[in-house]
Each structure stands twice: as C-alpha cells, then as structure tokens.
Chain A
Amino acid sequence: MGNRFTVKDFIFLCIFIAIVIILGLTLGSYNYLTHQVAGLRGDLQNMEAQQTSELYVLKKLQRDGIRMNARGTHTGQSASTADIRKTLPDGSRYVMFPNPPQPPYNPYAKPDFAYGDWLVESLESEPNRIMPYVPQSESAQTIQASVLESLLVRNPLTLKYDPWLARSYTLSKNGLKITFVLRRRARFSNGKPVTAQDVVFSYDTMMNPKVNCAPIRSYYTDIKSCRALSARTVVFTFNQPYFKALGIAGGLPIIPKSVYDFPKISEFNSHGKLLVGSGPYVLKRWTAGQDIVLTRNPRYWGPRPIFNRLVYRFISNPQAALQSLLAGQIDADVLEPSQWLKYHKNKSFRAHFTTYKYLSSASGYNFICWNLRKPWFKNRRTRVALAMLVNEPAMIKTFMHGMAVQNVGPFNPVSPQNDPHIKPIPYDPAKARRELKKAGWSMGTDGLLHRGKTVFRFGLTIPSQFPLGKRIAEYIKQQFASAGINMQINPLDFSTLLQKINHRHFDAVMLGWSGSIENDPYQIWYSGSYKNEGSNAGDFDDPLADKLILEGRRTLNYKKRMHIWHELQAEIYRQQPYLFMFTSYDLIAINKRIKNTKPYPVTGVDAADWFVPLALQKYR
C-alpha cells in the first residue's frame, strides 16, 4: 500500500511541477531583466556620453566663438582659415584642412537632418576576431571602419586625398617623403590624444614580423621609415617613388599605443576582441552568434556621429536577411540576384525600400587561379584554351541573372585602370580543342587528354560556403569534360582554403579579390610576391608584366600611369594566369526612412552619410 501512487502523491507532483515552472519563469525573467538592465545601462551611458560631448562642444564654443558663414548656418567649430591645396615653391604639394572635410553628399546640409536613431545592418559571417591589422574577413573590416581612423581619407567624388586625423600633409616633389601634422583635437575614445607616437607605434606593429598580418604588410614594404619629429609631426619616407604612397601612409589605421602596447607581442595575435580607436563609434558589445553593437563615441573629436548606435546582426543566409529586412528588423540588405529580380519592381516593396544597383570599385572580381607550377598549366596556349571552353556571358545570364559584368583582366570594370577596349576571349569549344592539340595534348584511350606522361586530371578547390561557386564549378567541370579534361571539385572550409593557398597546396582555386579605386598589382602579379608571402598564389612570373608593374608603381603622373596599367592588363589577359570570371553588381535595398543614401559613382553607398529625420526615427 505504501508504495502506490496515490492522489496525495499526485498533488505533490503537481506542486513540484508548479515549482519547477515558477523557477523556470523566474530564470527566464532574470534573463529578460538582464537584457533590460543592459539596455538601460546602455541608454544611461549614451545619455551621459551625449551630455559630455555637448558640454565639450559648449566649452569649445565658449572658448573659440562661432563663425557664421554666408548661408547663415554655422560651422560649429572655429574656422580661422579655409582649406588649402597648393604647390609650394620647392615643388612639394601641401594640403591643409583646418577642419575635417565634410562628405560631398553632405547630410548636415539637408533640411530634415537629425541626429539619433540606430542603424541595423546584417553581416554575412561572424568575424573570428576584430583586432586591427590581423587578417580577417570583410565583416571585420566593415566594423573596424567605424572604430578606427587613418591620417587621410579619400573624397569619394573627387578621388583626392583629404587630411582627416592629420591637419595637413606635405608630399615632397620626388614623392619619397610625406610629412603629416596631426590635429590638436584628435583623440582616441579613451580620451588620450592622438600623437605621433601612436602613429609610429601603429606602423611598428604593422611591420612587426611576429604579428599575423603578412598580406597587409606586403603593401607597406616600400616604406623605408616612419619617424616622429615632434609630438604632432610624423614623417614617412619611401624607398622609391610610389603612386600609392599617399594612400598607404594615409590609410594606416591608427591604434592607441596606450591600449595595444602588450608586453608580449604574441598577445596581439591571440587577443581577438580588443578594438579601440579614434573613430566615431566604439565597440559596445559582441554577443557571439547574434550581433555586434557599436555606440556613439562620447569623446569623439570630430563632427558628432549621426546614429546613436550601429548594430550588425549576423545573418548568414540571404533569405533570412531579406525576411528581416521586410520585417523591419534590419535597415539595409544586400540582395541576391534572384531576390532582386523578384522584388525590385514590386510596388509595395518600393514603397518601403529604396533600391540601388551599381558597380562599385570595392567589388573586385571572381576568378579561378591556376597554379602555374603544376604541369598542366605551364603552357599559355593551354590556359587560353581553357578560357575558351567557358561560356562567360551565358554563365552570367543564367547563374547571376545578368547581374554581373565579365572581367577582362585584373581590374574592376568601373576603375580607371581598366581598359574598356580589350576584347574578351570568345566562347569557342571547337577552337579550344584545336588549341589544346596545338599545345601538345592528345586524346588517350581512356578518354582523357595526355601529353607525354601527364594526364589532364586536376582538382579545383572552392570555398564551400559559396553555393554559386559550386554551380559554376560543376558547369565548368562539364565543359572541360567535353574536351577530355577531368576536373574534380574539392569544397573546403574557407579558413582551410586560405591555409592551402598560403602553402600553395592546390591545383586550381576559385576565389575573389575585393578591390579599391586604384589597385596596386604588385602583391598579386609581381613574380617576387610568390616568395614574400604576398598574394601571388599561382606563381605568375612574366618579365614584361614585372617591368610594367615596377614602372607603374613609380609613375606619379596619372595619365601616364593609367596607360601603363592598360598595357599591363593587356599582357596579363594575354597570359591568362587566371580564368577571369566576373564582377557582380551591388544590389542594395535600404529602408525608406533612411535618407541621403545616394551612391557615389565609383565607390557606391557610404553609410557614414545616412541619417533619419526626427519624425521617422524608430529606435531611441
């Protein structure tokens, strides 16, 4: 009798379950309360920071006074002189901007301009780490762009370099010396001023062989030295005249010595999450797997940041990102071609979202890199034949729905480096077979091409998180098979793939480079870059290309240089070390409450220019 499950036991069981449920709810509400408190704390910090910065501005106004300009609006800061851009008597160029330059599509001048609101964007992948310099994914660079700053900034319309952290710069006539004078009021988010020591420290960290930043470091090899002449003056000296000298020296992200001076330099590589700079936003919180939140830097030295918060949610699949965009959970999204086709003509979609389609210089291009050390790819004629077997225009039309442009060389079609007159290699499988025969390949009894002892069988390594890449690879496999070439597809995790590229353990690899307005082809195409841990993964070694690269780097005259780049492009395209594929359009949809989103002609949209009018603001 004593062990039976009676009504009393049942009541106890129910009480027990009730207690468990209450505990569960309490824990849940604890979690909820934690979220609330974190939010409140963040709001409090924001308010405090806002007060501090307003106090700071007030103090400055009190000290320096306000200057009204012709339009009746105030510039807010003391402007004793105007911007200067001139050539000094000794031939050097001198540029001085007493105030940080304003963006060409100036949001501050718009009538309904207002500060505030959050900007929520989505990132495709969660970065492993966001330390400065250490190589990382595009996501990390997007985040760093709002937190770190550099000495110069490039005007997106005029493409000239304007001083940002620097107040002025002097470029010597022979292009070998650049002197920067830092702004007095530039300071990091921890309050410490940006000094020349920090610039030198940043340079030294970048060049330190123990820091894991070899790919970026290779851009800086031409800098002979970086010295601080005084508390606010820095001099960069170059080995030889270099067309990108201003861009390199001016583009170095400046990190505070007080924060990043670790006793053991290896800590720099392993830390992963320390991101402190002088930029308008600071890293507030990184919730692994969910999002990264940046808040307004309360001690920002420059024009007050527009948004209160930048939130980057990690949404790895585009369909979920589109859903979030439609639900209003994110404010801007990059669309896939199929999504674009479906939505951009849709009336109700356009009522809520602004859409843009453009080619930007940052898009870079996709390609297949042949490892030129392997026996199959040594011959140029073979490589050209391989390119003839691939129907690029049809591939773009079918797989990308036409939302891409074929590449005819290592330069982005929108960049001035690209020569629009070069004709792409036509799709001609019959001719390809003849070319292969001429190159010495003959069909064996097993159905594959042979040349001596070599059988035309190799593996193409593709990044596995790139579904489009898989389709393209399968298509190319079929095309090659029809000519007697057996290509196997090896999908790899991206980090493993990068490793294999570093060690040159591949036959052919499908990749993409991102680009900039004017690329320096040295890292990718110069023959020496193979040994120096540069990005010449396929070991491209062509004397004419080397000569053109070195010459181009030294030429400071824009027109002459572009001419050299065009020649270089023709030579590289002729040699076909890559199978150049395409550059895709940027397809962007932005929530309509965000204004001033017009993209610049070459560089595309710039989120630093966006704002939300007071009436439409959604988040406080």
Chain B
Amino acid sequence: MTEAGPLLYRDTPVGPPPRTYWSLVLGKIMRPWLAKVCVCYIGLVLLISITVPLIATSKPYVIQIRTARGWVTRYPLLADLTTRDYLGFIAGATAAGIVIARRLTRRPDMLRQRRLRFITVSALICSAVLGGTAVALLHHNRFDGTDYQSMVKSGAARDAIFAPIRWGYAEMEPLSQNAINQLPSWQHWLGTDRSGRDVLSRMLWASRVAMGIGFVSQAIALTLGILVGALMGYFGGIFDLLGMRLVEMVEAIPTFFLILTFIAIFGRSILMIMVILGVTGWTGYARFLRAEFLRIRQLDYIVAARAGGLPLWRILFRHMLPNGLTPVLVSASFGLAGAVTIESSLSYLGVGVRPPTPSWGGMLNAAGNPSTVFHWFEALPPGIALFLIVLAFNIVGEALRDAIDPKSLS
C-alpha cells in the first residue's frame, strides 16, 4: 500500500488514489464489456448528432464559383451553419472540456494546484460557453438553396470539396431521373426514400432530433423530479402526503394519453415537445429520490449536519443529493430510452416534429404505413437505429443497476 520513499518530500503518503463511492460505481459499470460497448455507441451517436451538419450536407466546404469577376472562392458549408448547429458544437465542446479538465487535475500530488487549475479551466470553459452562446444566438441563419452539385457538373464551379455524404436531409434527386425507392448503391449508401432523398443522410439527421429531444426532455424531467422528490423526502409529513398524491395523479393518466393531451393543447414545435416530455416524465425520478432521501435522512452525518446548523439548500444539494442520486441515474438511463421511443412514436403517428425535419418515427411512417406499398428496405434502417439506441440505453441502465446494487459493492 505504501511506496518506499522519504516522507519529507511529500505532503501526504502516496498510494493508490482514494476510492470514492463514485469511482467504485464507475469501475463496476465499466467492467462488463457489453456496457462499455453500449456507452461507446451512445457516445458515437451523440457525436454524430452534433457533427452531422459537417458530415451530411449538399453544400461543399469550399468551392470556386465562376462569376462575372472571375473565379471566386466561397465557403458555403461554414457560412450556412445555423444557430442550432452552433449550440450543438458548444454543448459538445463544453462536455468534452469538462471531462478533459477533470482528467488533467486528477493527479493526487497536486492537491492545492489542483484546485487552482480546476478553477482556471472551469472559468475558461464558462467564458467560452457564454461567449459562444452569445455569438450563436445573435447569428442569423442563412438560407441557401443553390444546387452546388449541378453547378460543378455543368462547369460553373470547380475545385469543390464536398462533405463525406453529399446529401442533406431534404434534397431530392431530380424527378426526371425517377430515382425514388432505390436500393443501396454507390451513390446512395442506403438507398433513397419515396421522394428521392438519401436515406443515410436522413438517418443521421434524425439522430439529432432523437438525441436532442431525449436528453433535453430528461434533463427537464430530472430537474423537476429532483426538486419535488427532495422536498418530499426531506420534509416528510404534509409535503410527503401532498407530493405523493400529486405523483399518483400524474401517473394515473397513461403517459401517452397525457402527452397527446398536451400536444393538442400546446402545439408541436420541437421545444414544446421537449418541455412536454419533461413535464410528464418526472414522477419516476421523484419516487426514487424520495425513497433515497427517506433512507439517508436518518444517517449520522446528515443528523450532524443539521445539528451543525448548515443551511437547508446546502444539506440537500451538497450532502444528500450526491449520495442519493445513483438510483435516479439508473432511472435516467431507462428514461432516456423511453423518451426516444415516445418521440419516435409521436412522429410515427404524425403528431411529432414537423415535416421536413427527419425523425426515425417519421421515416418509419413513410416506409411502413399500411396505406402505401411496403418497402421493407426503407423500413429497416430507422427501425434498426431506434432499436440499437434503445437497447444501448437499456443495457447501460441494467449495468448501472447491477453496479449500485449494495450487495455487490465492496
């Protein structure tokens, strides 16, 4: 356990890094290989959903167009990124930044410097985030419908570097070529749908909708559930009674019915769907958190904290929450799976996201709707994508559940 070495040169004895509760849990999660694969898959889908405007679009990165003034260099793809794309990049960069910052400041012999560095890095990240958000929000989305590929073909442009997948989610093959419902080919790696659009590109763009709605709605639900559950669990008594009645009332209406009710009332924009899914899905988290808080409340350290006179919010969120959060995270993983499923079901029924925005459920509807001829090769990709992501979330959730099972933690 200890390494031989003069004690004078170090502040603290060296040894393996202290095993916190979280590191024990994380270690147990990562051990089964299936969970690792699933986490990697989820990460891959997230990465795709963030970077898809750079991967699958019909606008080239750089192109030289012949104008009256000669050959002019333009950068259509970068010029046409929208606010949403920028927000996605910022979100991804922030997450990556935080992970990297934590890894950098992990070494045990840097206790004081660690804190300093962590603070600096966090400050840098925050300012970057705020600055980037400001830029993104003030940015005006540019609308560009020019057909660059035909320009290249006809010779009006040259030296164009296109994205790996040359189709956006709405571009159709010219109707004169009658290229609808095609099987996979070299031009279209997964074929075309019934309007002549590239299926692979639509699948990648649809992952954006699915992941976006899934994560944001569950974040909202998590916040709501934690608030209500914490209050219920900590105070008990009348809060608990009323809170549990509220939870029962919301749970009694089948989730789908409740969601349809809200959609009929409030409309169907993406933001509204996120909020609706969040507002209807918080009850599970509240229940779990309440159970955990009821258990933790009587433990010694919490009693000591109360006796010591710590303010309420500090007890709740600094001391109780980090320890009570684990079952909620398990639930969150399953909740993400549920949110993706519900979003695709809504799009399948036709009350989800609006038309040009692709969604896996919408693609399934177009392909597998019983009112039209059935093209099975169009119904396969979105179905498989949905299945895999839900399976991944479920496996991760199961692994988490096994990991926090108190019988197996040593």
Contacts and interface: CB of A to CB of B under 8 A. Distances in A.
28 contacts: A319-B371, A320-B370, A336-B372, A336-B373, A338-B373, A342-B373, A391-B176, A394-B175, A395-B175, A397-B178, A446-B140, A447-B80, A447-B142, A447-B144, A467-B366, A467-B369, A473-B355, A474-B356, A478-B170, A480-B145, A481-B145, A482-B145, A482-B147, A483-B145, A484-B143, A486-B143, A489-B354, A489-B355
B184 interface: no
Contacts of B80: 447
B372 A394 contact: no
Interface string A361-403: 0000000000000000000000000000001001101110000
A356 B372 CA distance: 21
Given A398-B196, A446-B140, A489-B356, A317 B145 contact: no
Contacts of B45: none
Contacts of B194: 471
B194 to A, nearest CB: 7
B172 interface: yes
A603 B285 CA distance: 64
B174 interface: yes
Interface in A207-248: none
B180 interface: yes
B131 interface: no
- Kindly list the 9 A-B residue pairs having the minimum CB-CB distance in the complex, ordered from nearest: A481-B145, A317-B371, A394-B175, A447-B143, A447-B144, A394-B176, A338-B373, A482-B145, A398-B175
B171 interface: yes
B35 to A, nearest CB: 40
Tell me the interface secondary structure of chain A in the complex.
Answer: helix
B195 interface: yes
Nearest to B141: A446
A326 to B, nearest CB: 14
A478 B172 contact: yes
Contact of B373 (A319, A475, A482, A484): A319
- In this complex, the member of B141, B144, B355 whose beta carbon has the largest number of chain A beta carbons within 10 angstroms is B355
B322 interface: no
Interface in B123-153: 140-147
A491 interface: yes
B307 to A, nearest CB: 45
Contact of A467 (B171, B174, B371): B371
A482 B151 CA distance: 12
Interface string A466-477: 010011011101
A562 to B, nearest CB: 34
B195 A318 contact: no
Interface string B44-69: 00000000000000000000000000
A445 B370 CA distance: 45
Interface in A443-481: 445-448, 464, 467, 470-471, 473-475, 477-478, 480-481
B143 A474 contact: no
A339 interface: yes
A491 B366 CA distance: 15
Contact of A398 (B140, B180, B372): B180
A213 B194 CA distance: 39
A316 B195 contact: no
B372 A318 contact: yes
Nearest to B173: A398
Given A319-B371, A467-B371, A471-B195, 18 more contacts: A318-B371, A320-B370, A394-B176, A398-B175, A445-B142, A446-B142, A447-B143, A447-B144, A447-B145, A467-B366, A471-B194, A475-B195, A478-B171, A480-B145, A481-B145, A482-B145, A484-B143, A491-B355
Interface in B301-338: none
Contacts of B354: 489-491
Contacts of A339: 373
Interface in A336-350: 336, 338-339, 342
A484 B144 CA distance: 7
B369 A317 contact: yes
Contact of B145 (A316, A474, A484): A484
A446 B143 CA distance: 6
B350 interface: yes
A532 to B, nearest CB: 33
Interface of A: 316-320, 336, 338-339, 342, 391, 394-395, 397-399, 445-448, 464, 467, 470-471, 473-475, 477-478, 480-486, 489-491
A446 B355 CA distance: 23
A448 B143 contact: yes
A339 B371 CA distance: 11
B7 to A, nearest CB: 67
B174 A394 contact: yes
Nearest to B180: A398
A445 B355 CA distance: 27
Given A398-B178, A398-B196, A489-B355, A338 B144 contact: no
Nearest to B143: A447
A489 B195 CA distance: 15
Interface string B260-285: 00000000000000000000000000
Contacts of A338: 372-373
Interface in B369-408: 369-374
B361 to A, nearest CB: 15
A467 B194 CA distance: 11
A398 B195 CA distance: 9
Contacts of B142: 445-447
A470 B171 CA distance: 14
Nearest to A427: B176
A551 to B, nearest CB: 40
A200 to B, nearest CB: 45
Nearest to B179: A398
Contact of B170 (A319, A399, A477): A477
Interface string B331-366: 000000000000000000010001110000000001
A490 B267 CA distance: 12
Contacts of A446: 140-143
A397 B196 CA distance: 13
Interface string B114-128: 000000000000000
A422 B355 CA distance: 36
Nearest to A456: B143
A391 B175 CA distance: 8
Nearest to A124: B371
Contacts of B178: 394, 397-398
B353 to A, nearest CB: 12
A485 B143 CA distance: 9
Contacts of A464: 350
A318 B356 CA distance: 24
Contacts of B171: 478
Nearest to A482: B145
Contacts of A471: 194-195
A35 B217 CA distance: 49
Nearest to B195: A471
A474 B195 contact: yes
B356 A477 contact: yes
Given A317-B370, A317-B371, A482 B175 contact: no
B291 to A, nearest CB: 28
A373 B35 CA distance: 60
Nearest to A470: B355
A489 B354 CA distance: 8
Contacts of A489: 354-356
B355 A474 contact: yes
Contacts of B170: 474, 477-478
A150 B169 CA distance: 53
A267 to B, nearest CB: 29
A274 B67 CA distance: 70
A395 to B, nearest CB: 6
Given A447-B144, A480-B145, A316 B371 contact: yes
Contacts of A485: 145
B260 to A, nearest CB: 14
- In this complex, the member of B144, B145, B174, B373 whose beta carbon has the largest number of chain A beta carbons within 10 angstroms is B145
- In this complex, the member of A342, A394, A398, A471 whose beta carbon has the largest number of chain B beta carbons within 10 angstroms is A398
